[in-house]
Structure 1
Amino acid sequence: MRAGTLNRVIFIDRMTSALNENRTPVSTWANIATLRAEVLQHSVGEDEAGNGERDTDAITFRTRFFSGLETADRIRFMGRAYNVKGWTEIGMRNGLEIKAVAP
């Protein structure tokens, strides 16, 4: 993987729980990693849903290896949040190919 192809920045967030001023648990997103990445594929389209059509936004990133990624995590990229749907390890911990979909 060449460093010159990693020309985008993505932020990986994880849902955490914190206590507010009333000592009530509140869920919030916390940044766990900032990575350089390459956008392999970005597709926007329309799919049929039960009550009509809805827009779909799917994206695939390639980045250096990052351990601890979960499907419950999300990726922030260019002002939009994408839910992690899966990933494939490239080589022996050389990199990751991450598939994500906008909610």
Structure 2
Amino acid sequence: MRAGKLDNVIEIVRPGGYVDDGYGNQVPVDDTVIATMRAQVIQASTEEFMRAWGASTERAIIFRTRWLDDVRLSDKVRHAAIDYNLKEVKPIGRRRGLELRCSA
């Protein structure tokens, strides 16, 4: 992985969830940015599907980045102010890098 190809900035974001506020109510907690890192966009595509409720558009993108431990499928990737859901986290080599397959 060459450093010159890592020309995009992404953030790995972990959803906050809910906590008890002391009165028995569930209050949402802000998302936590786990890491801000450089990445390479391998493939980006947009597809349109016909669903039961009508037409829908799905954006798919693949990022390649340096190794980061503890990346979960429940995390999100933020790139260019768009949040992508992780579909697959694929390691490259022995802790050399990660390939993140995402969709929005």
Name segments (4+ residues, structure 1) moved above 6 Å: none
Matches within 5 A, 1:1-103: 1-17=1-17, 23=22, 24=25, 25-102=27-104
Percentage of matched positions with identical amino acids: 37
Any unmatched runs of 5+ in structure 1? none
User: What is the total number of aligned residue pairs between the two structures?
Assistant: 101
Q: Which has the higher strand share?
A: 1
TM-score, length basis structure 2: 0.89
| Residues 35-70 of structure 1: per-residue CA shift (max 9 Å, x gap) | 100000000120121111101101000000111000
Q: CA RMSD in A?
A: 1.6
Q: Deviations over 1:49-96 (max 9, x none)?
A: 111110110100000011100010001000100001111111111000
Report the 3-state secondary structure (helix = DSSP H, G, I; strand = E; otherwise coil) of the residue aligned with 1:36: strand
Structure 2, gaps ≥5 residues long: none
